[in-house]
């Protein structure tokens, strides 16, 4: 610990004279962790009575410079679990819950969220899946485009006076570079 302190001071570590262990303990406390609590199962090696690291599950034969190779079987198991999760079909309830969550988190109209989720859908029936990450990207891009069209501009006022929703009018105008005729065509098509 003393060598660590001297090294940090010599390298211009900001004059902090604490040891690395003290810094780690302080960081753990800052994030609400108990530095004196034993690690949970699988979170590092516990010391045995002789002071040697137990590490019974860790194969240290494949370690170099403090980096250990993960056994191939364990890597394969993780890949299979991830693939199964990705391929798992989503029910209408799952998709509606996702839409509600995204609507609240991104503070956007639910219609926009459902349109984006629908645009990312793959498969049919029981194999239908939506890509939440891609949908979020689409929603954010759309939200930014809509923000560029103010509610009080003449084009929005004209479409609203024709009975169209203000938000959907702004959206259609954003997609058509403020072309009222094209925006009207989009709004009419969406209504059908």
- pLDDT digit string, tens, across residues 107-128: 998 989 999 999 998 888 778 8
130-189 pLDDT per residue, tens: 999 999 999 999 999 999 999 999 999 999 999 999 989 999 999 999 999 999 999 999
Q: Mean pLDDT score of the chain, rounded to an integer?
A: 77
pLDDT value at position 48? 44
Q: Label residue 190 by pLDDT band (50, 70, 90).
A: confident
Predicted model pTM:
0.50
Three-state secondary structure of the chain? CHHHHHHHHHCCCCCCCCCHHHHHHHHHHHCCCCCCCCCCCCCCCCECCCCCECCCCCCHHHEECCEECCCHHHHHHHHHHHHHHHHCCCCHHHHHHHHHHHHHHHCCCHHHHHHHHHHCCECCHHHCECCHHHHHHHHHHHHHHHHCCCCCCHHHHHHHHCCCCHHHHHHHHHHCCCCHHHHHHHHHHHHC
Digit-coded pLDDT (tens) for 46-57: 444 444 444 445
Can you tell me the mean pLDDT for 82-96?
71
């Amino acid at each position: 610990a003393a060598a660590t302190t001297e090294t940090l001071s010599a390298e211009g570590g900001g004059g902090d004279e604490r040891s690395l262990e003290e810094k780690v303990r302080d960081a753990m406390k800052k994030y609400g962790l108990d530095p004196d609590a034993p690690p949970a199962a699988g979170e590092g090696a516990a010391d045995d009575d002789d002071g040697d690291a137990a590490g019974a599950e860790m194969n240290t034969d494949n370690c170099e410079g403090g980096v250990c190779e993960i056994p191939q079987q364990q890597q394969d198991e993780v890949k299979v679990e991830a693939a199964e999760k990705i391929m798992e079909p989503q029910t209408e309830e799952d998709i509606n819950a996702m839409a509600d969550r995204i609507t609240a988190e991104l503070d956007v109209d639910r219609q926009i969220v459902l349109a984006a989720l629908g645009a990312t859908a793959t498969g049919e029936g029981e194999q239908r899946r939506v890509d939440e990450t891609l949908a979020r990207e689409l929603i954010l891009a759309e939200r930014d485009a809509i923000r560029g069209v103010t509610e009080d501009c003449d084009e929005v006022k004209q479409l609203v006076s024709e009975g169209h929703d203000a938000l959907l009018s702004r959206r259609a105008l954003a997609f058509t570079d403020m072309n009222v005729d094209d925006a009207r065509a989009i709004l009419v098509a969406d209504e059908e």
